[in-house]
A and B are shown apart, each in its own frame.
Chain A
Amino acid sequence: YTYFGGKPKWNQDKLTYAFSETHKLDYLTSDDVRTVFRRAFDQWASVIPVSFEEVDDYTTADLKIGFFAGDHGDGQPFDGVLGTLAHAFAPENGRLHLDAAETWVVDDDFGSKGSTVAVDLESVATHEIGHLLGLGHSSQESAVMYPSLRPRTKKVDLTVDDVAGVLKLYGANPKLRLDSLTESENSIKNG
């Protein structure tokens, strides 16, 4: 696991997040996207003493989430189908951008679209939230924070590497229950 330079982190135990009303997808409902992000935030909230609350006001939320296409003004233009999928900024910037040109799927719905370039939204959301919290990329391919994700694959369970990195930044959630974490070979529970 790695951190951004200077190990920036949030110094509050509750973070609010909101979705852009203007930069969104027309083929996924807001509820689809909200449900996926709720699960992704809960993954991290189960490990560290930080809670995440969805709010309506995008401008005042700590974490701002939106789907953008091409050059969207932050110096990191998206590049169309595949290539870069999303990016998020280190604490305390709070912005998380997803490439609107991707074929995003939720709930393992790879089949209905049959697309070879379908990308799982929950996997990317869980990864980018790791960046929002201050984690950098991991060299372990099984880690959520590994930079690459193949189309039609899902990777949402935090591994030992992900949890070790975020625990070091924020400490442990007093309610952390090991059995709530993944069964994967690298899970902290097996560690």
Chain B
Amino acid sequence: RHLAEEATAKATQTIHVSNATWHDFSRLVDVQVGSHVSGVSELKRYLHRFGYVKDDGGDGMKNFSDVFDGRLETAISLYQQNLGLPITGRLDMSTVTLMSSPRCGVSDTHMINAGFHTTAH
């Protein structure tokens, strides 16, 4: 009985962890360029996952610091352009809401490298 309780506790624990960080960007809304806010590194990891932030060094990108720097602003603008959002470079509500929405696991690299075609109406 004790083992069963332990196993259940462990399973519950795992699910909780995987939910905790992925989706909670809402407290980054309107964070300004230059500011140092806990959680920005997670945002960089999200944008790196989908091809918007390279991890080729720079100011600690590989470690994804919590500084909202110019490169992150550029990455957010590109994300907004690709996902059809107003291009502001800022973490406005619509951008953060979309980043918190479920999505396809295929990265957007092909949108960035090859550019996209538009359909004429």
Contact = CB atoms under 8 A, between A and B. Distances in A.
Interface stretch (B2-10, B33-41, B65-73, B112-120): B112-120
A150 B101 contact: yes
Contacts of B113: 5
Given A1-B116, A2-B111, A136-B111, A80 B105 contact: no
A102 B119 CA distance: 33
B82 A137 contact: yes
A136 B114 CA distance: 10
A8 to B, nearest CB: 11
Contact of A160 (B15, B50, B119): B119
Nearest to A161: B119
A78 B105 contact: yes
A86 interface: yes
B104 A127 contact: yes
B34 to A, nearest CB: 29
Q: A2, A99, A151, A168 — which one has the most chain B CB atoms within 10 A of its CB?
A: A2
Chain B binding site: helix, strand, loop or mixed by DSSP? Answer: loop
A164 B119 CA distance: 7
A46 interface: no
Contact of B15 (A81, A147, A149, A164): A81
A191 interface: yes
A64 interface: no
Nearest to A6: B114
A86 B106 CA distance: 8
B110 interface: yes
Nearest to A117: B102
Contacts of A1: 116-117, 119
Given A139-B111, A164-B119, 13 more contacts: A2-B116, A5-B113, A83-B18, A83-B102, A84-B105, A86-B105, A88-B106, A101-B15, A137-B106, A147-B50, A148-B104, A149-B104, A151-B102
